[in-house]
Amino acid sequence: MEPMVNVADLESIPPGKARTVEVSGRRFALANVDGRVFAIADRCSHRAGPLGEGYLEGCVLHCPLHGWGFDVRTGACDVRPDRPVASYRVEIREGQVWLDPREPESEAA
Ligand code: FES
């Protein structure tokens, strides 16, 4: 079965911006870094802040609540390396953003 889900128009996420999308009740934060779109979990590993509403600085998406930063390419956390968030595969097809919402294999474990 095709795991990829069409989640957004590429135009709705300009370079340097992030936004939240929902797939079957789960939330994901999408971020556009110089034209490349990445996806991480929308739930901050600190106190569950909505990462998609945060601000992007280079590849780092900062939580709107207390500012923890997450590398949108990997989910790595800048202040707490032991508290990454999941990252998800994204593809752009004909101006549409497609996301693989399956939980990634845990590489940190
Ligand atoms: S909830 Fe994200 S930094 Fe506190």
Taking the centre of ligand 1 as the mean of its atom positions, its distance from the CA of residue 80, in whole angstroms, is: 11
Residue 60 CA: distances (Å) to CA of 16, 17, 54, 75: 10, 11, 10, 9
Report the nearest atom of ligand 1 relative to the CA of 67: 3
105 lies in a domain?
A: no
- Residue 109: per-residue pLDDT: 42
Q: What is the pTM of this model?
A: 0.93
Q: How many domains does the chain have?
A: 1
107 lies in a domain?
A: no
Taking the centre of ligand 1 as the mean of its atom positions, its distance from the CA of residue 94, in whole angstroms, is: 34
Residues in contact with ligand 1 (CB, 6 Å cut-off): 44, 46-47, 49, 63, 65-68
- Neighbouring CB atoms inside 10 A of 32's CB total 20
Read off the pLDDT of residues 23-75 as tens digits, 9 standing for 90 and up. Answer: 999 999 999 999 999 999 999 999 999 999 999 999 999 999 999 999 999 99
Q: Indicate whether 105 pLDDT > 80.
A: no
What is the CATH classification number for the domain harbouring 31?
2.102.10.10
- Residues facing 23 on adjacent strands: 26
Non-local CB neighbours of 62 within 8 Å, separated by 6+ positions = 54, 55, 56, 68, 69, 70
Q: Which domain holds residue 84?
A: 5-99
Report the nearest atom of ligand 1 relative to the CA of 49: 1
Tokens at residue 64, please?
């709107």
- Residue 108: per-residue pLDDT: 47
Residue 98 CA: distances (Å) to CA of 34, 88, 108: 18, 10, 25
Read off the pLDDT of residues 5-23 as tens digits, 9 standing for 90 and up. Answer: 999 999 999 999 999 999 9
Taking the centre of ligand 1 as the mean of its atom positions, its distance from the CA of residue 106, in whole angstroms, is: 22
Residue 93 CA: distances (Å) to CA of 4, 6, 46, 86: 11, 9, 33, 23
Taking the centre of ligand 1 as the mean of its atom positions, its distance from the CA of residue 61, in whole angstroms, is: 11
9 lies in a domain?
A: yes
109 lies in a domain?
A: no
User: What are the respective helix, strand and coil percentages of the chain, to the nearest 5?
Assistant: 5, 45, 50
94 lies in a domain?
A: yes
